[in-house]
């Protein structure tokens, strides 16, 4: 049985900032899975055990995404520093 990796949601947001591209939910999920793997679970300052889909929904609900063209991205100032 594969062991799960646990990655903070900030790592996903930092990946988004570094890519400098606009995402759709599907393209963000593809990049998350390619970078961190399908067995990874995500946590944030207030939630844990999330799948990539769960994390995308969580970040969207927390207002972490910024509209960019026909998609969205994020900004460094959306990443909390605690």
Residue-wise pLDDT tens digits, 56-77: 999 999 999 999 888 999 999 9
**Over 90: is that where the pLDDT of 3 sits?**
no
Q: What is the fold of 5-78? A: Arc Repressor Mutant, subunit A (1.10.10)
Domain ranges of the chain: 5-78
One DSSP character per residue, 22-74 reads -B-HHHHHHHHHHHH-TTEEEE-SS--SB-HHHHHHHHHHTT--EEETTEEE-
pLDDT at residue 1 in the model: 47
């Amino acid at each position: 049985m594969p062991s799960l990796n646990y990655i903070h949601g900030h790592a996903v947001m930092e990946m988004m900032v570094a890519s400098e591209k606009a995402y759709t939910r599907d393209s963000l999920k593809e990049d998350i899975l390619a970078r961190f793997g399908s067995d990874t679970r995500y946590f944030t300052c207030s939630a844990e055990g999330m799948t990539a889909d769960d994390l995308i929904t969580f970040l969207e609900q927390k207002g972490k995404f910024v509209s960019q063209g026909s998609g969205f991205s994020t900004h460094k100032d959306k990443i909390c520093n605690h």
